[in-house]
Structures are given as structure tokens and as C-alpha cells.
Amino acid sequence: MLAVIAFSVINLILTALDAGIYFLFFTTIPQFVFELGRIMYFGTGAIIFMIIGLIIAFICIVPYFVFWLLAKRVRILILVALIILGIDTFVLLYFITGVEFQFSSLLDIAFRVWILYYLINGTKAWAKMSSISTDDFNVLLQEIKSGEIISSETEKTEGVEEPEETEDFGEADEHEESQEKTSNEDNNSTKE
């Protein structure tokens, strides 16, 4: 999620500076808002439209950062981030199918599917954690932090003896057998 935020901010800055380069992975809605501001700037010549477009685009990116920052404390923000990025992905699909198709768009979609996959997993984990009572969760968390669970696992494995390592003499036995066959063949040939 942080990569999406960083690439989006960098892309906005590169686009504002007319650098001619950009990252493939960015949020579509903020980029679209900024492009509207640029189009209005080129149409009217008033730079205020481009500045307003840039400000609104950055405001559109701020919720992603807030969701990423607070998602560990406020679990529902994972679901909200999933919904917003899902909507952003559908907007991208609309532009790809309606305006123009480029191969780089497939990479952008693949990246978004990867991010959405992890957000879906986070949402599933949040749903499972919400079914656990807070008291049980806090007790389990304290046991993990204090090392009680880890130390009890260590005690279980300390009483178990590991089997002793034995050397493999298989290769040596095969070598000795081949030498015996050779000496037997020599003895048989001398007897004849």
C-alpha cells in the first residue's frame, strides 16, 4: 500500500514538471483529477486550474496514507482501503477499455490485483480476529510477548533425544566388494 502511495505522489510530481517519465503503478483517480486541472490550464492559460488539480489530487492520496498508517490500530480501515482501491481499479479498467489499451496497463492491473489480494487477506484476518474476544486476545498476546509459549515449546523438545548420527559405510562396502570380485577373477584366471 505504501508503494502505491509513493508511486502516486512521485507520478504527480513528475507529471506536474512535464518530466515525460512515470511509474506504472499509481492511483488512477488522483492522476485523473490532476490531468483535468492540466487540461483546463492548457485550455485557459490560468495556472490556478493546474494548482487546484494538484492540490485535490494530493488530498485524494492522503486517505490512502492514513489508512496505511492506522490500519494496525483501527482494523476496519483495511476494509475501507480495499473498497477505495477497488473503486480506483475499476476506474482504471474503465479508462483502459474505453480510451486506449497499452501493454503497460496490464502490468498496472497485475500490481493492483496483488495489492488487492493482500488487502483481502488483511480483511479476512481482521474478520477472524473480531470473532476472538478482546480478553482472550490480550492474554494470548501477553503470553507471546513474555515468551511463555515459546519456552513451553522449547521444554517439549528438550526432553526428546535426537537420534545419533551414524556414518554411512555403504560406499566403502561397495568398494571392498568390487575389490574382492576383481581378486576372485584374478585367482580364477590363474587357475585356468
Q: What is the mean pLDDT of each run of 10 residues along the chain (192 residues)?
A: 81 81 76 88 88 90 88 81 86 79 76 84 78 74 71 50 49 51 49 48
Q: Establish if 76 belongs to a structural domain.
A: yes
Q: What is the pLDDT of residue 148?
A: 63
Q: What is the pLDDT of residue 81?
A: 84
Q: What is the pLDDT of residue 179?
A: 52
Q: Max CA-CA distance within the chain? A: 113
Q: What residues contact 137, with CB distance under 8 A and at least 6 apart? A: 129
Q: Establish if 64 belongs to a structural domain.
A: yes
Q: What is the pLDDT of residue 145?
A: 78
Q: Establish if 169 belongs to a structural domain.
A: no
Q: Establish if 171 belongs to a structural domain.
A: no
Amino acid at 36: L
Report the domain count for the chain. Answer: 1
Structural domain boundaries enclosing 95: 2-148
Q: What is the pLDDT of residue 190?
A: 46
Give me 98's grid cell. Answer: 474505453
Q: What is the pLDDT of residue 52?
A: 92
Q: Establish if 172 belongs to a structural domain.
A: no
Q: Establish if 164 belongs to a structural domain.
A: no
